Structure 1
Amino acid sequence: MARRALTTTAATLTVTAALLLTACGGGGDKSSDDIKGADAGSSPSASASTSTPSGSERPDITIPSSFQLTFENWTSSDPDEQAVLNDGKEQLRAGYAAIIENKPDGGEALAFYDTEAGLSQDREWIKSYTGKNVTVIGELPVFDPQATLFAKKTKAQLRYCTDESKAQTKNRKTGEVVGNPAGTDPQVAYVVTMQKNEQGVWQTVSTNSKRGGCS
Structure 2
Amino acid sequence: MNRSTRRVAAALTASAALLLTACGGSDDSKDNDKIAGADAGSEKPASPSPSAPADGAKRPEIKLPKTFQANFEGWTNSDPKLQAILDDGKERLRAGYAAIIASDPRDTALKFYSAGATLKSAPEWVKTYKGLTLKGSVRVFNPQVHVSNEGFGVLFYCVDEAKGYTRNLKTGKVEGTPEGDDPKVQYRTRLDKNAQGVWQTSTVQTDRGGCDQ
Look up the equivalent residue of 1:134 and give its one-letter code: L
2:71: which partner in 1?
Answer: 70
Equivalences for 1:47-196 in 2 at 5 Å? 48-52=46-50, 53-55=52-54, 56-105=57-106, 107-130=107-130, 133-151=131-149, 154-196=151-193
| SS of alignment partner, residue 87 of structure 1 | helix
Are the structure 2 counterparts of residues 25 and 186 from structure 1 closer, same or farther at C-alpha, using a change threshold of 3 Å?
A: farther
Look up the equivalent residue of 2:87 and give its one-letter code: N
RMSD between superposed Cα atoms in Å: 2.7
| SS of alignment partner, residue 117 of structure 2 | helix
**The one of 197, 201, 204 aligned to 2:198:** 201
In 2, Cα distance between the equivalents of 1:11 and 1:193? 15
2:39: which partner in 1?
Answer: 37
| SS of alignment partner, residue 204 of structure 1 | strand
**Structure 1 segments (4+ residues) deviating >4 Å:** 4-7, 24-31
User: What TM-score, normalized by structure 1, do the two folds share?
Assistant: 0.81
Are the structure 2 counterparts of residues 12 and 64 from structure 1 closer, same or farther at C-alpha, using a change threshold of 3 Å?
A: farther
| SS of alignment partner, residue 128 of structure 2 | helix
Contact 2:188/2:205 (CA < 8 Å) preserved in 1?
yes
| SS of alignment partner, residue 129 of structure 1 | coil
1:11 positional shift: 6.3
Contact 2:166/2:174 (CA < 8 Å) preserved in 1?
yes
Are the structure 2 counterparts of residues 165 and 91 from structure 1 closer, same or farther at C-alpha, using a change threshold of 3 Å?
A: same
Are the structure 2 counterparts of residues 35 and 82 from structure 1 closer, same or farther at C-alpha, using a change threshold of 3 Å?
A: closer
Contact 2:166/2:176 (CA < 8 Å) preserved in 1?
yes
Are the structure 2 counterparts of residues 85 and 140 from structure 1 closer, same or farther at C-alpha, using a change threshold of 3 Å?
A: same
Structure 2 gap segments, 5+ residues each:
18-28
1:20: which partner in 2?
Answer: none
User: What TM-score, normalized by structure 2, do the two folds share?
Assistant: 0.82
Contact 2:189/2:205 (CA < 8 Å) preserved in 1?
yes
Structure 1 gap segments, 5+ residues each:
14-23
1:12 positional shift: 6.0
